[in-house]
A and B are shown apart, each in its own frame.
Chain A
């Protein structure tokens, strides 16, 4: 009985370690293929359009309301100390350092990451990936590598938009609705935000871009041959990406601070 449990525990650990190894080899292989011709810039742009441009609306919407609620909450906290003037810096720092990268990444996972897993997964189930192989076209190079590059470029750009829209959302609530002085809102941002904060946010967003496209395309690529397999793969991709984003965010923040 006890031996059985130990055995099962061991087997599950071995399976997980093997899976992690496969994931690492997957991403290394994609980057290795990226360095070899032919270079398919049009594919990369198409993926960038899908991951980046098409996620803009949902990112702007999320950013606007996040900035607004931050201003609302921040105003009531700061007013207790008579420091409403610092509202701008409170909104901007939370946005740039934390909420922008994390929330934008979670939205991209939900919108583009899940679709990516489903797309690659269907290509796996219907043997389209095998078809690429038989045509002597490497699927890692043709299919996966452009997605990784698009994630690395697209997510930081979306995060930048998120930050700006969020800060304006905070402005609308703080200045227009709650009567904080416009000059002090911008001034507090200017004096509080340092280059280090922006740099940290960019670093986070680049790593999130990689995490999303890596996990979501890996899960799709290794989909099991059934409709149920595709559903499982998509769920796993979204859950794992979201969890890894939050865990990685903690570690990166603790290093960057």
Chain B
């Protein structure tokens, strides 16, 4: 497989605590790779290394053929132009309407103006199912709608790589499913490289191409989604079997 993002021996301490302790990971180009792992295992921290929001204490971060871990300023920004990121809380700008949020990268980065901006924004809003919602402000939207708006903003620049930081956290199961479907549909349609951090087991096995698990600051395993579920390691089995299969005493689920 050709890799788009390659992490080599990433080590990172936050507040004196080791979070990443030698992560080696290759993200295949044009695929949806999901990183799973327990709460506080450093998944989001790992994601932030990929786009240079955090710099490793040791190790290398390769985006294509550029090593970004020691880049800053304009050079780092040049690499970031290939990226978009959907944050956990969507990170929409509260002072701007949904339309202006989605138009933001076009106007600020590409210095685009006039009807072309409106055309592209409306197109992306339609793709995420937010037609006619452009005039609303983030505070007026539900959690799911905010994620959709965030996704539209991520898609509008047509990036090569999109990072998703727990895109379904805090959503009800139906809304979570619709966001997952939307991510998969847009990924298949546009073919960008997607990296997702998620807790949604077992749903992610159905939508991801590759799955990697972060444990004790290292990648414990990485495999195509179907094969990942067959891995014999008892810790991995325990982790992935808990999601969706727990039957509480006295319940009639099943």
Q: What residues make up the interface of A, taking CB atoms closer than 8 Å to B?
A: 38, 122-123, 126-128, 130-131, 133-138, 142
Contact = CB atoms under 8 A, between A and B. Distances in A.
A134 B111 contact: no
B105 interface: yes
Contact of B108 (A122, A127, A134, A135): A135
A123 B94 CA distance: 9
Given A130-B85, A134-B84, 15 more contacts: A38-B108, A128-B91, A128-B92, A131-B85, A131-B87, A133-B80, A134-B83, A134-B85, A134-B163, A135-B84, A135-B104, A135-B109, A136-B80, A137-B105, A138-B77
A135 B80 contact: yes
B5 interface: no
Contacts of A134: 51, 53, 80, 83-85, 163
A123 to B, nearest CB: 8
18 contacts: A122-B94, A123-B93, A127-B87, A128-B91, A128-B92, A128-B93, A130-B48, A130-B53, A130-B85, A130-B87, A131-B87, A131-B91, A133-B52, A134-B51, A134-B83, A135-B80, A135-B105, A136-B80
Interface residues of B, number: 26
Nearest to B108: A137
Interface string B145-183: 000000000000100000100000000000000000000
Nearest to B77: A136
Most chain B beta carbons < 10 A, residue from A123, A131, A133, A137: A131
Nearest to B54: A130
Given A126-B89, A128-B91, A133 B53 contact: yes
B184 to A, nearest CB: 22
B88 interface: yes
Interface in B84-103: 84-85, 87-89, 91-94
Nearest to A128: B91
Contacts of B53: 130, 133-134
Interface in B40-84: 48, 51-53, 73, 77-78, 80-81, 83-84
A127 B91 contact: yes
B43 to A, nearest CB: 15
A135 B80 CA distance: 7
A133 B87 CA distance: 12
Interface of B: 48, 51-53, 73, 77-78, 80-81, 83-85, 87-89, 91-94, 104-105, 108-109, 111, 157, 163
Would you list the 6 A-B pairs with minimal beta carbon distance, nearest first? A136-B77, A131-B91, A136-B80, A127-B91, A134-B85, A127-B87
A138 B108 CA distance: 11
A142 B91 contact: no
A127 B88 contact: yes
A130 B104 contact: no
Contacts of A135: 80, 84, 104-105, 108-109, 157
A134 B84 CA distance: 6
A142 B108 CA distance: 9
A70 to B, nearest CB: 40
A142 B78 CA distance: 17
Contact of B81 (A38, A127, A136, A138): A136
B245 to A, nearest CB: 33
A203 to B, nearest CB: 33
Contacts of B108: 38, 135, 137, 142
Given A133-B80, A134-B51, A127 B111 contact: no
Contacts of B105: 135, 137
A233 to B, nearest CB: 18
Contacts of B48: 130
B93 A136 contact: no
A86 to B, nearest CB: 50
Contacts of A38: 108, 111
Nearest to B101: A131
